[in-house]
Amino acid sequence: MMDPEVLERIAARRAELDGLEERLVKQLSEVRAERDELAVAERVWQRMSEQLPPTTSTSTPKRGHATPLTSYFKMAELH
């Protein structure tokens, strides 16, 4: 005969694991989406840098100066 307390503990643990699985699936989906966004940003950056004249500086902008790309990355950090 099975102890009802043991069965209850097993069911509770199973429910915890189910919840954890759902959270991890969601988190994995978000990570994959962000990785895809970064791949797109990298391709855009490469294309932009190929189109820049050789004399154009690609150095980091002054502190407090936001370029479209730095703005994009700051927005991405907020997500």
Two tokens, residue 66: 């936001």
27 vs 24: CA distance, rounded Å: 5
12 vs 44: CA distance, rounded Å: 48
- Is this structure's pTM higher than 0.85? no
Predicted confidence (pLDDT) at residue 61 exceeds the cutoff of 60: no
pLDDT one-digit tens code per residue, 5-50: 999 999 999 999 999 999 999 999 999 999 999 999 999 999 999 9
